[in-house]
């Protein structure tokens, strides 16, 4: 009998190990997601913590301003309001410096009219000096710096700029863009990991130690994830690099925010008119019948359906019209605008918010939600709750890191080389996605590519030394 035909021993076939099972897609990706979530959370968390704390302060600043600046913004309700021209003249008499750039009539009974002055010495070029006038008596109640048409006064402006750029200017804006770029990645990765766990392991009740911390971290993160995604996406819309790319995409798609046309025929009887019912020095209108005046302009805008609150912008030159723009950012959003010929008081152009392109509307709503104005105080409460949730998530995350290392200096890290367990049909699209992200969101894509490059190199070194370099997929 030949050797080839001899029967195999029974115990040999019985103890032959089965071929290793191919890991599932989730089993391949989980270690990589876990490592990315761990390191991104550890190193981006300080930036997120600053953004969360300053964001919480910003959410509280709306109500704080109402108390702090009540003398300037509120007055006893009178029987009737004085003409706008008289209110502006009172403001200019008290503050002749600068030029009138806009007028915001009292939006409701018991509030003041704001006359906004630009070019005022000592006032930031991006800000205006708001002169507060009692609409019933023309008494000037005070003057404060204002930022933007939403009426941010010094307290909210200072906190807003601290949240946006740490008062470091353009360079400081990179911190907030970096935080916004990574927030959705960290939140999304945590969400995937949390729902990938068995239901029993997600329970808080009965859990102790690190497991309890993990359960709290995951549960609060799952509830807050949707809000964190919105904050991340809306924060990127006006960031330096990602925001510019988003703007280019919107322009290419024809989705930019339209503006009302302020052009009128040059020359004619309205040439040389004053600004906002008075010349740049704050005196009365210079030429006879040179300008129909603020009250006629406001009446024309009212006839087109523009209700309070509104802002009136004077003509820029002799060939420009008044522009009256609704400035209500709370729901329902009021953003209609009209142009009014200063010589005749006729409306020359109308732009309705309903006619804005879809992406322009979404951008408007998203920014207003991010800044706490879209749904008023409810919006501000949600922002404060999200900020507090993010602070708790960061604290729990660092605590889990510490407990993972059993009290060592920086905690025990997640093992390297998780990418080695990802099959090519998943790894190649993943690399392509990173390349796209690097173009659209550079402060996410570039650090992410660097992280993967370092992880690959260090993982390969550890692998050649015979060390286990990746976390188990279970």
Per-residue pLDDT averaged across 219-241, rounded? Answer: 95
- 287 falls within a domain: yes
Structural domain harbouring 415: 25-60+166-251+378-464
- 350 falls within a domain: yes
What are the DSSP calls for 398-420, one per residue?
HHHHHHHTTT-SS-PPPPS-GGG
| Distance, CA of 199 to CA of 178 (rounded, Å) | 33
Residues 320 and 175 in one domain: no
| pLDDT band with cut points at 50, 70 and 90 for residue 402 | confident
- 4 falls within a domain: no
What are the DSSP calls for 295-353, one per residue?
HHHHHHHHHTT-PSSEEEE--SSTTB-EEEEE-B-SSSPB--EEEE-TTT--EEEEE-G
Q: In this structure, what DSSP letter does residue 202 have?
A: G
Residues 266 and 359 in one domain: yes
Quickly tell me which residue has 């000592």 as its tokens: 122
Residue 456 has pLDDT above 60, yes or no: yes
| Distance, CA of 194 to CA of 224 (rounded, Å) | 13
Residues 279 and 354 in one domain: yes
Q: Is the CB of residue 342 less than 8 Å from the CB of residue 315? A: yes
CA angle 447, 449, 451 (to 5 degrees): 65
User: In terms of pLDDT, which residue wins out, 43 or 467?
Assistant: 43
Q: Is the CB of residue 400 less than 8 Å from the CB of residue 213? A: yes
Residue 369: how many other CB atoms lie within 10 Å: 20
pLDDT above 70 coverage of the chain, percent = 81
| pLDDT band with cut points at 50, 70 and 90 for residue 266 | low
The two three-digit tokens of residue 214, written as one number: 């993990």
349 DSSP β-pair partners: 339
Residues 240 and 324 in one domain: no
| pLDDT band with cut points at 50, 70 and 90 for residue 464 | confident
Residues 119 and 219 in one domain: no
Last residue of a domain, one of 369, 393, 410: 369
Quickly tell me which residue has 């930019």 as its tokens: 256
The two three-digit tokens of residue 286, written as one number: 């210079």
| pLDDT band with cut points at 50, 70 and 90 for residue 452 | confident
Backbone angles phi, psi at 344, to 5 degrees: -115, -20
Per-residue pLDDT averaged across 153-168, rounded? Answer: 96
The two three-digit tokens of residue 465, written as one number: 């030394």
Residues 365 and 383 in one domain: no
Q: Where are the beta strands (DSSP E) in 165-318?
A: 310-313
Residue 180 has pLDDT above 70, yes or no: yes
- 130 falls within a domain: yes
| Distance, CA of 158 to CA of 166 (rounded, Å) | 10
Residue 272 has pLDDT above 50, yes or no: no
Residues 96 and 134 in one domain: yes
Per-residue pLDDT averaged across 171-192, rounded? Answer: 94
Last residue of a domain, one of 369, 387, 411: 369
Q: Is the CB of residue 292 less than 8 Å from the CB of residue 345? A: yes
Q: pLDDT, tens digit, for every residue of 107-131?
A: 999 999 999 999 999 999 999 999 9
Q: pLDDT, tens digit, for every residue of 326-360?
A: 999 999 999 999 999 999 999 999 999 999 999 99
| Distance, CA of 86 to CA of 251 (rounded, Å) | 42
The reported pLDDT for the residue numbered 285 is 40
- 470 falls within a domain: no
Per-residue pLDDT averaged across 174-190, rounded? Answer: 95
Q: Is the CB of residue 58 less than 8 Å from the CB of residue 156? A: yes
- 399 falls within a domain: yes
Q: Is the CB of residue 413 less than 8 Å from the CB of residue 38? A: yes
Residues 295 and 317 in one domain: yes
Q: pLDDT, tens digit, for every residue of 276-313?
A: 444 434 433 433 347 999 999 999 999 999 999 999 99
User: In terms of pLDDT, which residue wins out, 113 or 450?
Assistant: 113
| pLDDT band with cut points at 50, 70 and 90 for residue 439 | confident
Cβ within 8 Å of residue 102, ≥6 positions away: 116, 128, 149, 311, 312, 313, 314
The reported pLDDT for the residue numbered 268 is 47
Quickly tell me which residue has 């998780």 as its tokens: 418
Output the CA–CA distances (angstroms, integers) from residue 198 to 32, 181, 195, 215, 403, in the order listed: 19, 30, 8, 12, 21
Residue 418 has pLDDT above 70, yes or no: no
Residues 247 and 122 in one domain: no
Residue 76 has pLDDT above 50, yes or no: yes
The reported pLDDT for the residue numbered 284 is 38
Residue 417 has pLDDT above 80, yes or no: no
Residues 273 and 313 in one domain: yes
| Distance, CA of 418 to CA of 463 (rounded, Å) | 11
Q: Which helix (H) or strand (E) holds 112?
A: none
The reported pLDDT for the residue numbered 410 is 45
The reported pLDDT for the residue numbered 19 is 53
Q: pLDDT, tens digit, for every residue of 56-72?
A: 999 999 999 999 999 99
Count of domains forming the chain: 3
Residue 423 has pLDDT above 90, yes or no: no
Q: Is the CB of residue 101 less than 8 Å from the CB of residue 314? A: yes
Last residue of a domain, one of 120, 155, 190: 155
The reported pLDDT for the residue numbered 40 is 87
Per-residue pLDDT averaged across 418-422, rounded? Answer: 66
**Residue 132: CATH number of its domain:** 3.10.450
Output the CA–CA distances (angstroms, integers) from residue 245 to 114, 169, 431, 443, 451, in the order listed: 35, 20, 21, 12, 23
Residue 430 has pLDDT above 60, yes or no: yes
Residues 212 and 143 in one domain: no
Residues 245 and 268 in one domain: no
User: In terms of pLDDT, which residue wins out, 110 or 438?
Assistant: 110
State whether residue 51 is helix, strand or coil.
helix
The two three-digit tokens of residue 236, written as one number: 């990127």
- 5 falls within a domain: no
Number of helices and strands in the chain (H, E): 13, 8
User: In terms of pLDDT, which residue wins out, 107 or 426?
Assistant: 107
Residue 463 has pLDDT above 80, yes or no: no
- 88 falls within a domain: yes
Q: pLDDT, tens digit, for every residue of 15-40?
A: 555 555 555 666 677 877 888 888 88
Whole-model pTM? Answer: 0.85
Closest by Cα among 80, 78, 79, 150 to 114 = 150
| Distance, CA of 46 to CA of 53 (rounded, Å) | 11
pLDDT above 90 coverage of the chain, percent = 63
The reported pLDDT for the residue numbered 250 is 94
Q: Is the CB of residue 62 less than 8 Å from the CB of residue 390? A: no
Mean pLDDT of all residues in the chain?
Answer: 85
């Amino acid at each position: 009998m030949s050797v080839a035909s001899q029967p195999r021993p029974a115990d040999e076939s019985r103890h032959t190990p089965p071929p290793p099972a191919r890991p599932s897609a989730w089993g391949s990706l989980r270690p990589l997601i876990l490592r990315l979530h761990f390191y991104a959370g550890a190193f981006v968390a300080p930036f997120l913590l600053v953004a969360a704390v300053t964001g919480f302060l910003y959410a509280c600043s709306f109500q704080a301003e109402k108390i702090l600046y009540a003398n300037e913004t509120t007055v006893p309700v009178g029987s009737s309001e004085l003409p706008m021209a008289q209110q502006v003249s009172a403001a200019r008499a008290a503050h002749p410096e600068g030029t009138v750039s806009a007028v915001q009539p009292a939006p409701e009974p018991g509030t003041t009219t704001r006359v906004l002055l630009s070019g005022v010495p000592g006032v930031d070029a991006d800000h205006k000096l708001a002169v507060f006038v009692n609409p019933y008596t023309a008494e000037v109640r005070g003057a404060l710096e204002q930022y933007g048409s939403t009426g941010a006064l010094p307290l909210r402006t200072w906190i807003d700029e601290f949240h946006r750029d740490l008062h470091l200017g353009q360079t400081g804006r990179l911190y907030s863009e970096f935080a916004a770029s990574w927030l959705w990645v960290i939140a999304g990765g945590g969400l995937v990991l949390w729902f990938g766990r068995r239901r029993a392991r997600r329970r808080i009740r009965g859990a102790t130690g690190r497991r309890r911390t993990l359960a709290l971290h995951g549960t609060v993160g799952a509830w807050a994830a949707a809000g964190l995604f919105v904050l991340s996406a809306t924060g990127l819309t006006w960031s330096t690099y990602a925001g510019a790319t988003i703007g280019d995409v919107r322009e290419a798609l024809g989705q930019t925010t339209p503006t009302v046309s302020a052009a009128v025929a040059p020359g004619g009887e309205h040439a040389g008119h004053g600004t906002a019912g008075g010349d740049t020095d704050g005196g009365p209108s210079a030429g006879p019948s040179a300008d129909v005046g603020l009250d006629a302009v406001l009446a024309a805008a009212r006839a087109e359906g523009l209700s309070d609150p509104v802002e009136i912008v004077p003509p820029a030159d002799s060939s420009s019209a008044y522009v009256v723009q609704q400035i209500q950012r709370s729901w329902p959003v009021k953003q209609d605008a009209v142009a009014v010929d200063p010589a005749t008081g006729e409306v020359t152009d109308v732009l309705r918010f309903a006619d804005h392109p879809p992406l322009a509307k979404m951008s408007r709503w998203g920014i207003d939600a991010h800044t706490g104005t879209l749904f008023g105080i409810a919006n501000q409460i949600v922002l404060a709750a999200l900020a507090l949730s993010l602070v708790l998530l960061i604290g729990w995350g660092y605590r889990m890191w510490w407990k993972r290392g059993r009290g060592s200096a920086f905690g025990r890290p997640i093992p390297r080389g998780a990418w080695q367990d990802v099959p090519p049909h998943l790894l190649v699209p993943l690399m392509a996605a990173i390349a796209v992200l690097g173009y659209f969101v550079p402060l996410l894509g570039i650090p992410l590519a660097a992280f993967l490059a370092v992880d690959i190199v260090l993982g390969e070194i550890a692998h050649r030394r015979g060390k286990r370099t990746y976390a188990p997929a279970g």
